Amino acid sequence: MALRPTLLAATLAALALPITLPMAISAHAESWPAPIQALVDEGLQIHGEFDAPEGLQGYAASHQGSEMTLFLTADGEHAIVGTLVDAEGNDLSEAPLETLVRAPLDAQLWQDLEQSHWIQDGDPAAPRVLYTFTDPNCPYCVRFWEMARPWVEAGEVQLRHVMVGILQPNSPAKAAALLGADDPAAALHNHSEGESIAPSAQPREIEDQVYRNNQLFDALALLATPTTFYRDGTRVEVLQGIPDSQRLHEAMGGEQP
């Protein structure tokens, strides 16, 4: 028996956007107009309102990284989901999405990464910082570590390895052993060069750090390690897996030193 899709699912499907677990619902203390509230009740997050032409009221929204604008009709009874353009073809949705959705979400993401539990790899004064989710049993993480060496050793980039345990049963214990080492940076360096870290029991506080990193990994709907985040101007960009040379240079901020 085919089930009737929810209103939000049908809306996102029409926009060809991925459907994933809903973000936290909007912090708006009051009810939204009925058509907007119907989508909020199903998991849509409203980030802010903006004025739109012809009596329309605009709303900048998202659903697990999928951005969209909604336009409430003047009678308050209907909402249009999509992009609004003017007579010259100018996109009137882009600026509100940038201001109300992308910039705040990027700022929150970077703050969450800063507050995660990571191992410093490189000069703490390096002008460029990258956060990379690293599993101790991930060979591709080791490959990314190797690819980054020229920039790290030149003092141009600092990698911050957010240690997770997701790939194998002993991954959490290995991640905890690295985070709990007397010199985590040296332990990670040795591990990446082939001296594999042995899983070992760690204080509850260290094991909890791995657990919280795993939670962040899941909350960001990530699929594999390494996944790396870096800033490009005001935006936060992401690398999935091993990048090609162009993407690597973009992430590192320039050509190999």
What pLDDT, in 10s, does the model give residues 111-121? 999 999 999 99
- What is the CATH T-level fold of the domain 7-14+29-100, as seen in this structure? Nuclear Transport Factor 2; Chain: A, (3.10.450)
| pLDDT for the residue numbered 63 | 81
Separation of alpha carbons 226 and 240, rounded Å: 7
Q: How many CA atoms lie within 13 A of 220 on its CB side?
A: 25
Q: What is the mean pLDDT of residues 222-245?
A: 94
Q: Which ranges in the chain are annotated with CATH 3.40.30.10?
A: 116-252
| pLDDT for the residue numbered 20 | 33
The three-class DSSP label of residue 213 is helix
Q: What is the mean pLDDT of the chain?
A: 89
Q: Which ranges in the chain are annotated with CATH 3.10.450.70?
A: 7-14+29-100
- How far is residue 8 from each of residues 35, 43, 65, 78, 121, measured CA to CA in Å? 11, 8, 14, 15, 42
The percent of residues in the chain predicted with pLDDT above 90, rounded, is: 80
| pLDDT for the residue numbered 42 | 87
Predicted confidence (pLDDT) at residue 19 exceeds the cutoff of 80:
no
- Between the two ends of the chain, the Cα-to-Cα distance in Å is 61
Q: What is the mean pLDDT of residues 237-241?
A: 94
Predicted confidence (pLDDT) at residue 22 exceeds the cutoff of 90:
no
pLDDT band at 30 (very low <50, low <70, confident <90, very high): low
Separation of alpha carbons 253 and 92, rounded Å: 31
Burial 130-146 (b: 16+ CB within 10 A, else e): bbbbbbbbbeebbebbe
Which residue(s) pair with 134 in the sheet?
Answer: 163
pLDDT tens-digit series, residues 125-184: 999 999 999 999 999 999 999 999 999 999 999 999 999 999 999 999 999 999 999 999
pLDDT tens-digit series, residues 52-90: 999 999 999 988 768 999 999 999 999 999 999 999 999
Which residue(s) pair with 70 in the sheet?
Answer: 59, 81
| H helix intervals, 53-138 | 94-97, 103-114
Q: What is the domain class of 116-252 according to CATH?
A: alpha beta
